[in-house]
Amino acid sequence: MRRQFDRIAPVWDTMRTEDTLAPYQAALGRISGPIQHALDVGTGTGAGARAIRERFPTADVVGVDVAPAMIAEARKLVPEATFVEGDASELPFDDESFDLAAHSNMIPFLNETARVLRRGGWTVFAFSSGPETPIWVEPDRLRKELERRGFTDFAEISAGRGVAVVARRPAPN
């Protein structure tokens, strides 16, 4: 998969349509701060990282991707974020280091998402074309899997041609 995404990195942005990020942006709009440290998982060329900065202008935003060519494009296109090469199944970040871990058209690795989120932190899973998205997980299934890991505050949001799920790690008592 890494090689496949490396090959298409230079043309990835030409494959996007105007509403590709609509569900992701709508989901970010549902989140209440403070969001200071945010992660875009499977960032590709960094469009999601840029959307987080637009929504939370003072946040430090990191994008992580397994494909080096995607990271190279993201660094050129989105200088306002930091980009790191890494595998979402073994994220190169400390436990509880982010207030937000967001995913656009990305395979969920829920144990890692839960690990890197602080208590009270938020997660987003957006799929640009709903069930037609090449990487697609039914919102009900995502919700059940997140519930098993203690997440709460679910919302399912439709926007553009897509859908997004928002959830939260419970805050400490």
Ligand X SMILES: C[S@@+](CC[C@H](N)C(=O)[O-])C[C@H]1O[C@@H](n2cnc3c(N)ncnc32)[C@H](O)[C@@H]1O
Shortest Å distance, C-beta 1 to ligand X: 5
CB 76 within 8 A of CB 57: no
| Closer Cβ to ligand X, 138 or 147, answer by number | 138
Out of 27, 37, 48, 122, name the contact with ligand X by CB under 6 A: 48
Q: Does 15 bind ligand X (CB under 6 A)?
A: no
| Closer Cβ to ligand X, 39 or 59, answer by number | 39
Which range touches ligand X (CB under 6 A), out of 36-44, 112-120, 140-148, 163-171?
A: 36-44
DSSP state of 171: P
Residues 83-122 that bind ligand X (CB under 6 A): 87-89, 104-107
Task: Copy the structure tokens of residue 2.
Answer: 């890494």
| Closer Cβ to ligand X, 120 or 136, answer by number | 136
| Closer Cβ to ligand X, 10 or 170, answer by number | 10
Residues 119-138 that bind ligand X (CB under 6 A): 135
Half-sphere exposure of 74 (CA within 13 A, CB side): 30
Cα angle 83-137-125, degrees, rounded to a multiple of 5: 40
The residue ranges that bind ligand X (CB under 6 A) are 1, 5, 42-44, 47-48, 65-67, 70, 87-89, 104-107, 135
